[in-house]
Structure 1
């Protein structure tokens, strides 16, 4: 048995960037010339049937399956295994422990809790087995505070109901208990603004360069007031 490998677990509610973080780590391993096997849950076809995808449509090629054990033979040819939506597979704990014990790096992204804030299946059994566990937070879609929980806004009661923002929101502790609807988010404003400048070169051609300038606070406030009035109109 080889124990020099790592079992890494990325927990968090929906919209917390779990898949984004999974992809970031896998791309680092790919740059380091590791051969990576990326696995997705076959029923999750929200954005793509073949690739894992973030909510903002970043994609990474993957192999779809319902049971991880079906890929045990295939996994022998890879040094790194990435699993997205690990909470949905019935054998995540056993598969991850087996792969890590065989010398592979295993990175799992998963919901730690259901919409009822209960442990999702047996996924929490990964915690004592893993060398690394992180829990990400999202932004509360009601008050914009840090969000640790997933709240279902539709009427389904089954635990496994795959969906996106049309039936789930991320909430903080306080807003989880409120009967509230997500707020329409204002367009982000920045104290910096990019401008383009053109200048002539010595050979008679023109080149364009960009630079950032600071925008006065009163101008930002005026823009926010305009956006607020437009959204409420």
Structure 2
């Protein structure tokens, strides 16, 4: 978490800001430096580097810490369309701070409570992983092949009920039912590469007929897996 509060006002790091507005951190730093030199942010003082440890690789990087006003100005100068996003993020951080969820523990009971909360979050993350991992493995096997799957086979691969998969694809406008109640792929799903139609022969009382069967491509399976995994995480949260 990029928020910092140690007996001082809340601040946000330029690395989190760069991630939020989808820009290179070096570019965001330079923008902050220019604003500080013009006296727009920083209260007339030069910006000071603050070391921050990357949780993924353990390396130490430098960033600037900005208060709420300065971070909002920085985002507004670089990507005005993300101003609402950073306002929402600040509201979230301030709510966490007021609730004491990101305060630095000062006593042993507080430290134990923090450790217990972290353990609980880790257990929930592991539970989500157990839901998502089998689907990710199945998706990996499929993505390595060039074949497409019918709805029934796709549901088995994604480890959900066929009725649930059909309902999800209907609501997301991947599929629709024609006048005879047969599933057909929307043109948008076909154009995106998520679906394709395959000609199949159907035995009917009037004789053998050829119909188009909607098939889910490897790209479509990848997208469906992302949707299902997101729903799984939201359900487990």
TM > 0.5 fold call: no
Where on the TM-score scale, by shorter chain, does this alignment land: which range? under 0.3
- Between Structure 1 and Structure 2, the one with more helix by share is 2
What is the TM-score with the length of structure 1 in the denominator?
0.27
- Between Structure 1 and Structure 2, the one with more strand by share is 1
What is the TM-score with the length of structure 2 in the denominator?
0.26
Determine which structure has more spread, i.e. the larger CA radius of gyration. 2
